[in-house]
Amino acid sequence: MPFMEDRITEMLVDQEDEITLHHPEVILVVGVNGVGKTTTIAKLANYYTKEGKKVIIAAGDTFRAAAADQLSIWADRVGVPIVKHKEGADPAAVVYDAMEAAKARNADMVIVDTAGRLHTKVNLMEELKKMGRVANNHVEGAPHQTLLVLDGTTGQNAVSQAKLFGQAVPVNGIVVTKLDGTAKGGVVISIKEELGVPVRWIGVGEGMDDLRPFNAKEFANALFNKGMIQGDK
């Protein structure tokens, strides 16, 4: 169906605007627990490290037990430094220390994990605003990217989550994980239609290299012609 493929490409292609990176670029990663937020952060760090960037991870989820320890394992695996505090600490203090570390090490990028809870939306919003203010005090315009991680297998629930997070924080990019089958691909189109927020990355498998920059033409082609969005085997 070349017509449909072309229409979907046109609909999604404006999502591929080039992002001008700041120094350091501060990326806030948000999303509920269980969507693959921690592994997404590790894969982002891996991607940018391979691009020659010096990356620091900030373990800003001080709410969930063992969140920082889990992220530390991934950081070690990727080979990037991590800044973390004890459980229950102020996430903004983690961001402050990460920004100081970035300055001391001349890092190119700070990727910040955040608490994955929505039931306390007001608290989460205030927490994220404070983290943003601290980052902005170090680098103008930070956080430069606020990426919302969504699980592609949850369909319309993912769109509902995106709407809720969009009310709480200024999300300017989406990461859709677990997109390894056609049936799940429709969520990308729904997000674009209902939210107008660009999909920046898609996760197509378990491997470290299976988080990829979103490409509208490749996505539409995979959706209609291959029946699968292939990850590395």
Q: Binding site membership for GTP: which residues? A: 31-38, 113-117, 177-180
Indicate the pairing of strand 211-213 with strand 199-203.
antiparallel
173 three-class SS: strand
Indicate the pairing of strand 25-30 with strand 109-113.
parallel
Rounded to an integer, what distance in angstroms lies between the CA atom of residue 101 and that of residue 82?
A: 10
Sign of CA dihedral 131, 134, 137, 139: negative
Could you list the residues known to form a binding site, using ranges.
31-38, 113-117, 177-180
Question: Of 182, 192, 171, nearest to 222 (Cα)?
Answer: 182
Cα 214 to Cα 115, 170, 176, 187: the distances in Å are: 25, 20, 9, 14
Task: Indicate the Cα dihedral angle 144, 210, 57, 155, nearest 10°.
Answer: 60
